[in-house]
Structure formats: structure tokens, C-alpha cells
Structure 1
Amino acid sequence: MNVPASGISHGEAKPVPSNSLHEVDATYKKVTRRLIPFLFICWMVNYIDRINVGFAKIPLATDIGLSEAAYGLGVGLFIFGYVIFEIPSNLLLTRIGARKTLARIMLLWGAISCLTFLVRTPTEFYVARFVLGVAEAGFYPGLILYLTFWFPSSRRARVMSRFLLAMAVAGVIGGPLAGLILTHTSGLLGFRNWQWLFFIEGLPAIVLGIVALFYLDDSPKDAKWLTASEKELIQTNLHLGESSKPGHDHGISDFLSVFRDPRLYLAVVGYTVIPVLGTVLNYWTPTIIHNIANPDIGTVATLSAIPFGLGALGMLVIARHSDRKLERRWHYFFTVSCGAVALLCLPHVAGNLGLALLCLSLVGVAYYGGSTIFWTIPPAYFPSRSASVGIAATSSLGQIGAVLAPILLGWAKTHTHSMAAGFIFIAALTVLGGLAIVLGIPRSALREHKLKTGN
């Protein structure tokens, strides 16, 4: 099945029937109720499976002889595997549809996460993380692309904030859940607690992959739960955004053309910030807390929930304000700059748990808020026929910094007993990414529109 990048054909937009604002809102609420809760759960489970290695690390490192540098390399290999298969996965999505693609990804990553309990050496840890990255490749950009099949640009920040709230919820519940599993499963049936953590938290992904095959629709035209008028309203509002995109009639139309478009590299530099901030928050928060207070693993996991929760609150406020103003670039710059400041402060508050949690919470705001704002930009920036490749290429190439960041942080911690140098590098990269969006992408290039109601 071939699914166009917008989920609709590229013909002339039909006039909208006379719809009141109430009817428009009702239609999008209906779509939101149908899709967002399920996608929310899928992404939450994915995120828990992704960050659980940060909690498993403390007992895992002791059992298999894993140094800080080796741990950083394992995190980087996961991202590397994710990156190299991300574009092929999104291209496959446009060919066979979102339903089969997302189901395939969830089934594979769930199975591999479960099998990670077999790891016995650092080398096996490297292989497991790389293969898990390959299995998950395309899930995040695939979901971003899938949302553009249903929601116009003027609603995407709010929709993205609800969707990406799953990351924060995963962080809030993932820590205590990991702590519960690690505390109560050590030695159960002869296995270590970190083995049970990987196995138990991998199972839900397998179940969700099966459900996705029966629950999701590839696009609005396939949705039997929408009326004909609702489908027409959605299609027209999507056309409205597509017809206003710069370069729509002369845009890139094949794989190679995407990489000749300078827009891609501006977006990549801007996006690099997000996965790098996520590396600090997701993979080093437990270690930072443990190094300051040296509490038991259960307390570390519980305290780790704080930056995720405060990050979620900040994200919701930022997303709502950005949608109301229909402004993305400056919102993005100021949001990620908060993260840069927090990273510069972290080494100086290493002896104060409260201040360290405050800095990590600002990193959480920058990560979640920045993610929400950023992913409203590529769908409004790339021509619709190149959106699938453009979004995947931005996500893939933007992960380069995230491949290097954990290796750098791990090396710095091993050889200098401090991550200060790594945090300074990440802070500088963060400011550079924010400036790339503000200075490199003119506001007119996005041309977002209010919803058309027909009145």
C-alpha cells in the first residue's frame, strides 16, 4: 500500500463544507481520543524500554565488569543502530503503511529487550544494544510522520505535547517501576534483578505490536470510525497547510534530492540538541543522583522521577503558548537554552542533591519542551512529498551528536572522574542548535495557518 506523506492525495483541495468551529473541534477531539491514548501507551512503553538500562547499569556493571566508558559506548551503539536504519524504516512506512510498520517495530524491540537478560559480557552488551537500536529504528519519526497524516500544523504542538508527555510519564513511573523490580527480583529463579528488569519491561511491547495490527488505520481515508464529512474536513485542513509550504511545487521528490536540500541540514543542526539533552536526562540521571547521595537503588529510581515530572509540566506550558502564538523558532531557542544553562551549572552543584535535581529538571524542560516545538517545524517546512524522507533524515542525522555524547561523557567520567568537560561541550552544542533554528529558518518558511472552519 502506498501512503502519501500527508495521508491524502495531492490533488486540488476541495472547499470545506460549512463547518462551525464547534464541529471542527469535535472532529479533532474524536481523532485525538482514538489515536493519542494508544500511541501514548506505545511510546511510553518504548521509552521505558529505552531508559531502563540507566537503572540496570548499577548492578549490571558489577556483574559483567562494565566501566563508565564501556557503558557510554553501549549507549552510543544503540543510537548508531537506530540511526542507520531510521530512513529505510520510514520509507517502508510510506510503502506498506503505518499499521504494519509500527507493529513490526514493537514486536521486534519487545523480543530483543526480553532477550537482553542473556547478556554476560561487555561485548554481548554492545551487541544487544546495537540490535535493539536496529529494531527500534524508525519508531519515533514514524509516529511523528503518522501524526501529520491526521493533524494540521496549527494543532501539532498541542498534539505533540500530549504524545510526548508519554516520555515524561515513562520517566516518572519508569524509575519507581525499575526500582520495584530491581529490589524484589534479585535471585528469583536463579536470575539477577537486572535480568528480570529487561525481561519484564520488554513483554508489553510484544502485546502492543499485536494490538496495533487490528487497531490502527493507515490514514483518515481508511478510518471506518470517521464520517465522510469528517474525512473531508481533515483532508481539506491538511491541504491548506500543504499548499502554503514553500517549494511545494518545486520540492524534492526522491531520496537523493532530500540530501541536496539545504533545509535538511539546518533542521539537522537544530535537532541535534534534542537527543543530546535526552542522553544526559535518560542515561545519566540515576548515576548523577547516586554519585551525590549514594542512596539505595530504589531511592535513586524514585528521585530520578522528579526531573521527568517537572520537565513534563514545562513542556505542556511551552507547547500551549507556542500554538496560541503560532510561533516556533524563538520558543525553541529559549527552551533549549534553559538546558544549556543547567548543564553548565551541574558540575558546580555536585554536592547538593536539591540543586542537582533542579538542574536536571531544567534539562528535562529543555528536552521535552524542545522536542515538542521542534517536531512542529519539519512537517511545516519540508514539501509534503518529501516529508517522510525529510523527517527520517532529520531524526537520523540529528542523532550524530547523541552517538558521540555518551561516549564522551563515559570517557570523561572514567579518566577525569568528572563529566564537566562533557557538559560544557553539550551546552555549547545546544546553543548552536537553537541559533540554527532562529537564524537559519525564516518564519515565512513555515507559514502555518489557523484552522479553516468554512464560516
Structure 2
Amino acid sequence: MADLNQQEKRKAEDDVEHGVLDKENSDSPSLTTNLQVDPAAETALIRTQDLRIVPLSASIYFLCYLDRSNIGNAKILNHSSGHSMLTETGMTNHQFTIALMIFLVAYGLFEVPSNILLKKLRPSRWIAFLMFSWGAITIGLGGANSYGAVTGVRFLLGVFEAGLFPGLVYYLTFWYKNTERSLRVSFILASATLAGAFGGAIAFGIGNGMDQVKGLSAWRWLFIIEGIPSCLSAVLVWFWLPDYPETVGWLTAEQKELARRRLEVEGSKGTDKAMSWQDAKTTLLDWRLYGHYLIYFGISTPFSSLSLFTPSITAGLGYADLKAQLMTVPPYGVAYVVSILTSYSADRFNSRALHSAALSAIGAAGFLASAVLPADAYLSRYGCLIVAASGAFACIPPLLGWLSANIFSTAATGLAIALNIGLGGAPGQIAGVWIYKAEEAKEGYPTGHWVNAALLFGVAAGCIALRMYYGWRNSRTLRANGGAVPEGVRLFAY
């Protein structure tokens, strides 16, 4: 019996090794999860941070996503008049898909280096540089005249957009606790759904009023007009995006100390040491994190395919040309609201895994119904598209909050987040560009819908499985320590 107890304790100690905090990065000699903080002061601090950080971060990602996904609008814009992107560049549907994939290859390759540079060069400086670069490249895409030019420019766009989303998720760890991040990530990610909605509306307006203005087709004006705001906004980000709580001038000394104490256990700090090779090795060999990466792969394919092919999908639902652009707005608008409500609930009840499982299952049901309905059931399939988009988009923010809540070395947080999007997200997004086949338009794109349904059901199952695994690990640690959490140790978050 004594041998069994000793064996259980050794297993629990192994769990603690993966949940122990990085004490080298703390000014405090001992870390506990029960720091005494005045609730009113904490609420006021969070409100002050939110006003400075969340709207600006969401606006940055809005512009990024607008410049990234507008190629889907450009593909069919003014197709009936012979002035679409495919017509004027001589690209085939297959070559268009290759151009989409090349962007994602670059996106996957440059995410990790970008997150490392964000910490070394300060968030405001690095993000401003990325913004100006991708804005200028988007403008340049308006001058492309061939398949080779489109593909090369899209690769460069992927290089400079790669670091933004993982960078913003990492950036939030400098300001917010684990239990607060899902909602903030949701506001940032939901700006992508707003960009999708605005992108369709903007394309509709440009297609109606600017085709052949100054001798340029509407799709060229689409890239030019949507790239300019990113370049101009980069200047504002350079000066206005706050880097770390410790360095800003709009927090009092008391608020800075409160911010430090709040994140002593559950966040990253601007004063933390840079990531070492040992930090990287520990993160790369922490195999439970690959469960998160695999789940994120499953959601990335639906996310990518909807981002790029919603205009084509709506065009296949009986809506022609410019009206197809306009009909992309409702799915994104509903998805925005559902994403915010889901993330608020996930943070409110501290239950990210189950929220992501539920929403991914709802999204899967929407895709499944789209796949089995007759191709000419346009109205029903349009409703299913709204359900599918809502579930697919809304399950992502809790997943990202769940991952960051279970990373225990602050120096390697940026690496783990970048790996999640690089190893899980990028391959999934590459798969997403292939599943909606142009030759299946008259059949209602069944391959794309079936694949997305299967992957989202897999996401739901993966979330539940990983949630059960973390529960088992926590129970084992608690049993070995008489039901108490050892000092300096965090249990795995759900």
C-alpha cells in the first residue's frame, strides 16, 4: 500500500513539473494563486486597459483580415462583364487555388520568428512595421497582370501578415489573466467576421461604381482602396499601441504594481527574460500541447475555406455577381454576435473546452445539412451557411484562451501560441483552399461541406477528450497532496 502511494505521488510530481510556474521571471520568492487584490481597483484597471487595448487591437486585425480575404471578392467581382480578376490575369481556378495556398505556406513559415521579434522589438514597433508592409503589398496586388505576379505578391503578403494574429494573442498575455483572455481574443477575432461583412459590402459598392474608373477594373480598385488604411494606420499604431503595463504613462504607480501582481501567476511580463533554448525545448517536447495543435487544425480548415470562398458559395446559392457579394454580409454579421456571446459565457463560467465543443458541433451540423440538402434548396442552404459560419468562427476564441491558460513558462508563451497557429492553423488553412472545388458549384460544393462537417465534429470530440485528460491530471495531483494545490503550482485549466 505504501509503495502504491509513493508511486502515485511520483506521478503527481511529474504532473507538477508541467504545471510549475517559471519562478526565475518573478520578483516574488514564492508564488501562490491567492494574491490579495482589491476587486474595485482591479475592475477599474481592467476597464482602463480595455479602452486602450481592445478596440485598437481589433481594428488592426480587422484591417489585416480585410486585406487578406478580399481576393475571394476579387475573384468574382464583375465577372459577368469580363472584368474579374481571373479574366484579366488569365488565371484558371486551379492557379487561383495555388495562389491562395502560397499565402498560407508563407503564413506558416513566418509565425514563430515573428512572435520572437515582437518581444525583442516591442509590440508597437513590430506590429506597425507589419501593418505598413502588408498594406503596401495589398496595394501592389492591384497592379498584378499574371498568375506569377499574383502568386508572388500573395507570398509576400503571407510573410508580413503571418505574425499578426499569434502576435496579438501573445500580446494579450502581457495585460490579462487567463480567465480574461477569451473574451478579448473574441473581440479581436470577431473583427475578422466584421471584415468579412464589410468586405462584401465594400466589394458591392466598388463593383457598382468604380469599374473602369481611370481605366482600372473594380477588382484592382478593391485592393488599392483596402490597402491604403493599413499603411496610414501603421503610423498611429507606432505611437498609440501600448507595449507593457510597466512602461506606459497612463497607469499610476499603484496601477502598475497591481498589474504586476495580477499577472504574477497567470501572465507574461515585459521584463521577462527572452526565450532560451531550454524554454524552446521544454515547449517543443510538452506533448499535451500537440493535442491543442491538433484541435486547432480541425477548426482552421473551416475558418480558411469560409474566409476565402463565402462569395463563391453564395454565388452558388442563386445569387448572381454583385448580389452574391452583398449576401456574404449576414453570415458574418451573425457570426460576430455569436462569437462575442460565446466568449463572454466561456470566460464567465471558466469553461472554454465545453463551449468550443458545443459551438463546433453546431457548426458541423450546419455544414452537414448543407451537404445533404438538394443543390437547389437555396434558401435552406443559405440558412445552413449562417449556422455553419457562426459555429465555426465562435469556437475559436475559447480554444485560444484555453491554450494560453495552460502554458506555464512565460518565456515560451509566444512560441507555444505561434506553434499552435503555425503547426495546427497553417496546414489546416492550406487544406481549406482545396475543398471547395469550382467544378462542384452546380452541385452545391458537397466536398467542402462534408470535409468541414467531419473536421468540426472531430474538434468537438477532441475538446471533450482533452478536457477529460486535464481533469484526470488535476485529480491525480490533488490526491497526492491531500486535496490541496502545492504552492507555486497551477492546475490545468478547462
Normalised TM-score (structure 1): 0.89
Shift of 1:17: 9.1
Q: Please tell me whether the aligned partners of residues 139 and 225 of structure 2 are also in contact (alpha carbons under 8 angstroms).
A: yes
Instruction: Say yes or no: does 1:228 pair with 2:253.
Output: yes
The CA distance in 1 between the partners of 2:319 and 2:345, in whole Å, is 39
The CA distance in 2 between the partners of 1:108 and 1:333, in whole Å, is 37
Q: Please tell me whether the aligned partners of residues 104 and 429 of structure 2 are also in contact (alpha carbons under 8 angstroms).
A: yes
1:150-161 maps to which residues of 2 (within 5 A)?
150-161=175-186
The CA distance in 2 between the partners of 1:372 and 1:349, in whole Å, is 33
The CA distance in 2 between the partners of 1:152 and 1:53, in whole Å, is 36
The match for 1:53 is 71
The CA distance in 1 between the partners of 2:215 and 2:438, in whole Å, is 34
- Residues 191, 242 of structure 1: alpha-carbon distance in 2 compared, 3 angstrom cutoff: closer
The match for 1:338 is 362
The match for 2:344 is 320
Q: Percent identity?
A: 25
Amino acid in the other structure paired with 1:128? V
Bigger mean CA deviation after superposition, 13-22 or 316-325: 13-22
Amino acid in the other structure paired with 2:466? G
Shift of 1:173: 1.8
The match for 1:149 is 174
Match of 2:26 among 10, 20, 25: 10
The CA distance in 2 between the partners of 1:266 and 1:274, in whole Å, is 13
Q: Please tell me whether the aligned partners of residues 312 and 364 of structure 1 are also in contact (alpha carbons under 8 angstroms).
A: no
Shift of 1:400: 0.4
The match for 2:455 is 429
Q: Please tell me whether the aligned partners of residues 349 and 355 of structure 1 are also in contact (alpha carbons under 8 angstroms).
A: no
Deviations 1:356-411 (A, max 9, x none): 22222122222321121111012111122211100001110112021122123337
- Residues 227, 34 of structure 1: alpha-carbon distance in 2 compared, 3 angstrom cutoff: same
Shift of 1:282: 1.3
Shift of 1:268: 0.8
The match for 2:400 is 375
Deviations 1:86-124 (A, max 9, x none): 111011112112111111110110010000012112222
The match for 1:194 is 219
Shift of 1:242: 5.4
The match for 1:291 is 316
Amino acid in the other structure paired with 2:125? K
Q: Please tell me whether the aligned partners of residues 158 and 320 of structure 1 are also in contact (alpha carbons under 8 angstroms).
A: yes
* SS of 1:151 mapped into structure 2: coil
The match for 1:28 is 46
The CA distance in 2 between the partners of 1:228 and 1:439, in whole Å, is 44
The CA distance in 2 between the partners of 1:186 and 1:129, in whole Å, is 23
**Bigger Rg, structure 1 or 2:** 2
The match for 1:453 is none
The CA distance in 1 between the partners of 2:50 and 2:492, in whole Å, is 20
The CA distance in 1 between the partners of 2:462 and 2:162, in whole Å, is 26
The match for 2:146 is 121
Instruction: Say yes or no: does 1:174 pair with 2:195.
Output: no
The match for 2:445 is 419
Deviations 1:325-354 (A, max 9, x none): 101111111111111121122232532333
Query: Which consecutive residues of structure 1, in runs of 5 or more, have no partner in the other structure?
Result: 244-250, 450-455
- Residues 190, 82 of structure 1: alpha-carbon distance in 2 compared, 3 angstrom cutoff: same
Normalised TM-score (structure 2): 0.82
Match of 2:159 among 108, 118, 134: 134
Q: Please tell me whether the aligned partners of residues 153 and 448 of structure 1 are also in contact (alpha carbons under 8 angstroms).
A: no
Instruction: Say yes or no: does 1:300 pair with 2:324.
Output: yes
Q: Please tell me whether the aligned partners of residues 136 and 231 of structure 2 are also in contact (alpha carbons under 8 angstroms).
A: yes
The CA distance in 2 between the partners of 1:226 and 1:302, in whole Å, is 44
The CA distance in 1 between the partners of 2:306 and 2:391, in whole Å, is 10
Amino acid in the other structure paired with 2:341? V
The CA distance in 1 between the partners of 2:368 and 2:36, in whole Å, is 54
Q: Please tell me whether the aligned partners of residues 80 and 133 of structure 1 are also in contact (alpha carbons under 8 angstroms).
A: yes
* SS of 1:188 mapped into structure 2: coil
Deviations 1:275-322 (A, max 9, x none): 21212321111111112214231x222210100011111112211221
Instruction: Say yes or no: does 1:401 pair with 2:428.
Output: yes
- Residues 337, 33 of structure 1: alpha-carbon distance in 2 compared, 3 angstrom cutoff: same
The CA distance in 2 between the partners of 1:81 and 1:418, in whole Å, is 30
The match for 2:131 is 106
The CA distance in 2 between the partners of 1:56 and 1:93, in whole Å, is 32
The CA distance in 1 between the partners of 2:392 and 2:297, in whole Å, is 11
Bigger mean CA deviation after superposition, 82-91 or 37-46: 37-46
The match for 1:95 is 120
Query: Which consecutive residues of structure 2, in runs of 5 or more, have no partner in the other structure?
Result: 1-20, 77-83, 269-275, 475-489
Match of 2:437 among 384, 393, 410: 410
* SS of 1:189 mapped into structure 2: coil
Shift of 1:25: 1.0
